[in-house]
Amino acid sequence: DTSVLFSVRVDNRRIKADIKSSGLIHCACWTKDGTRLVVAIGSALHSYIWNDIQKSLVACSFCPIFDVGGYICAIEATGEAQVAVA
């Protein structure tokens, strides 16, 4: 289960990501521009787009799931809309 707490200081409102996979979430990070959440589940990266106006989190339409072919133990934002994995 992945949730974004977008109003912690006011009332703890949250939005859940609709993850269409089973397994443990190993790690996750936001891209530097703050618009994309990347979640590692097993050997796959799940990409979600944050819409700040609608306060919604939806799967990326271009590449929602990317299998890297091996265990992912870390993700770090490297560019505005890029991440590196190890």
76 vs 14, 31, 49, 57, 61, CA distance in Å?
23, 8, 17, 20, 22
**pTM to 2 decimals?**
0.80
pLDDT tens digits for range 37-73: 899 988 999 998 988 888 888 888 888 889 999 999 9
Q: How many domains does the chain have?
A: 1
Domain with 21 in it: 3-85
pLDDT digits (tens, 9 = 90+) for 72-82: 999 999 988 88
